């Protein structure tokens, strides 16, 4: 039972936190579409996006059972390493001030400006274009959620708990977003990305190793050790890449 | 066609946005696989290469 919790808790929290970030980004675009063209194209585009995601999951889900376990672990592990370490590296660079923080207010303003610009040029076709923008946001951000759920859940039969974590995050963001009708700019996105990057990178090392036949000491508990190491190295990397302060310059 | 190319670009962008960084991760995985193949009696060695390699890539990527 303890082993189940130690493997389920990181999977559920990784799915929840990464879905929180993706849902916030999708919501910003859907809200931008709703602000410029109303809720009809925004809602229809979002619903069509959700339907596409459901079809992808239903089509690809059963195929996972047919892939040999070691090959599945290796493929998912490498993709998780690429995905998780990319997130973690970006979070490190943002925390160090090398690249600007992701700004949902700015993304919202850019999205609405682009849609208004399209309105001037496309007139009647805009509802289609606006719906398409909403659809695309939902599919692309949703694909990341689907990937994380499959990646952290597939190896040990944790798809259902990971899905529950992801759905809870999406429901939470949707409820808060539609209540306040504004982009959720106060979500500490970089901190979340930092945490999720650490977790996904840890899962990536674990699954890639499992795929290569590495007998990790402590089995699933090794993921927690990897997470601690990735966190220490990531914090050190923030200090290493932080540009010197202005006062330190000659 | 342009739409398909854009979709493909967006999908690969989920995993790769800096080619060198992705390549470094790939090299670490390949090295770990080579170690696993040449030293099957010490399977943990591949794990050490993988973990230390990934941490090193992260630490030295700018």
Taking chain B (62 residues) in consecutive chunks of 10 residues, what is each chunk's mean pLDDT?
69 77 94 93 93 93 72
What pLDDT score does B57 carry? 93
- Which residue of B22, B32, B50 is in closest CB contact with A82? B22
What pLDDT score does A96 carry? 85
Would B8 be classed as within a structural domain? no
Number of folded domains in chain B? 1
CB–CB of A18/A173 below 8 Å? no
Q: Does the complex come out with an ipTM higher than 0.90? A: no
With CA atoms as reference, the chain B residue closest to A75 would be B29
What pLDDT score does A99 carry? 80
Q: Map tokens 């189940």 to a residue.
A: A4
Greater confidence (B12 vs A125) lies with B12
- Which residue of B36, B44, B54 is in closest CB contact with A85? B54
For residue A226, pLDDT over 90 is answered with yes
Show the domain range for B37. Answer: 18-60
How close, in Å, is residue B48 to chain A by CA atoms? 9
- Alpha carbons A86 and B23: distance in angstroms, whole number: 12
What pLDDT score does A235 carry? 92
Q: Map tokens 């610009």 to a residue.
A: A117
What pLDDT score does B3 carry? 63
Sorted by sequence, the CB contacts under 8 Å of residue A218 that are 6+ apart come out as A225
What pLDDT score does A119 carry? 65
Question: How many pairs of residues across A and B have Cβ atoms under 8 Å apart?
Answer: 87
Assess A162–B contact: CB distance below 8 Å, yes or no. no
- Alpha carbons A232 and B55: distance in angstroms, whole number: 10
Would B47 be classed as within a structural domain? yes
**pLDDT tens digits, A2-33:** 446 666 787 888 888 888 888 888 888 888 88
Q: Give the mutation candidate from B54, B57, B61, B62 for the A interface (greatest A CB count, under 10 A).
A: B54
Token digits for B3? 């739409």
Would B5 be classed as within a structural domain? no
**pLDDT tens digits, A150-190:** 887 776 677 788 888 888 988 888 888 777 766 666 667 77
Output the CA torsion sign for A160, A163, A169, A173. negative
φ, ψ for residue A186, nearest 5 deg: -85, -5
Would B7 be classed as within a structural domain? no
**pLDDT tens digits, A41-93:** 888 888 898 888 888 877 877 777 777 878 888 888 898 899 889 989 988 98
Q: Which of A197, A196, A216 is nearest to A206 (CA)?
A: A216
Would B40 be classed as within a structural domain? yes
What pLDDT score does B25 carry? 94
Question: A250 pLDDT band (50/70/90 cuts)?
Answer: very low
Would B50 be classed as within a structural domain? yes
Assess A171–B contact: CB distance below 8 Å, yes or no. no
Would B27 be classed as within a structural domain? yes
């Amino acid at each position: 039972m303890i082993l189940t919790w130690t493997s389920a808790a990181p999977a559920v929290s990784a799915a929840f936190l990464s879905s929180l970030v993706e849902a916030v980004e999708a919501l910003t675009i859907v809200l931008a579409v709703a602000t410029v063209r109303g809720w009809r194209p925004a809602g229809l585009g979002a619903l069509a996006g959700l339907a596409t995601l459901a079809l992808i999951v239903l089509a690809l889900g059963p195929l996972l059972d047919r892939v040999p376990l070691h090959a599945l672990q290796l493929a998912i592990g490498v993709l998780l390493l690429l995905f998780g370490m990319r997130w973690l590296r970006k979070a490190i660079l943002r925390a160090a001030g090398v690249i600007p923080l992701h700004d949902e207010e700015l993304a919202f303003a850019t999205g609405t400006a682009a849609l208004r610009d399209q309105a001037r040029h496309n007139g009647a076709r805009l509802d289609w274009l606006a719906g398409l923008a909403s659809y695309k946001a939902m599919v692309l951000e949703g694909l990341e959620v689907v990937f994380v759920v499959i990646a952290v859940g597939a190896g040990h039969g944790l798809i259902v708990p990971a899905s529950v974590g992801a759905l809870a995050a999406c429901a939470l963001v949707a409820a808060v977003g539609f209540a306040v009708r504004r982009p959720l700019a106060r979500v500490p996105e970089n901190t979340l990305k930092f945490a999720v990057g650490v977790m996904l990178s840890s899962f990536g090392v674990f699954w890639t190793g499992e795929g290569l036949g590495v007998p990790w000491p402590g089995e699933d508990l090794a993921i927690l050790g990897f997470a601690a190491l990735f966190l220490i190295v990531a914090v050190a990397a923030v200090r290493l890449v932080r540009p010197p302060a202005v006062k330190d310059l000659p | 066609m342009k739409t398909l190319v854009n979709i493909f670009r967006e999908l690969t962008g989920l995993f790769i946005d800096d080619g060198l960084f992705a390549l470094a991760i790939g090299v670490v995985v390949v090295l770990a696989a080579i170690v696993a193949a040449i030293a099957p009696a010490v399977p943990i060695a591949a794990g050490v290469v993988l973990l230390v390699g990934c941490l090193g890539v992260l630490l030295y990527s700018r």
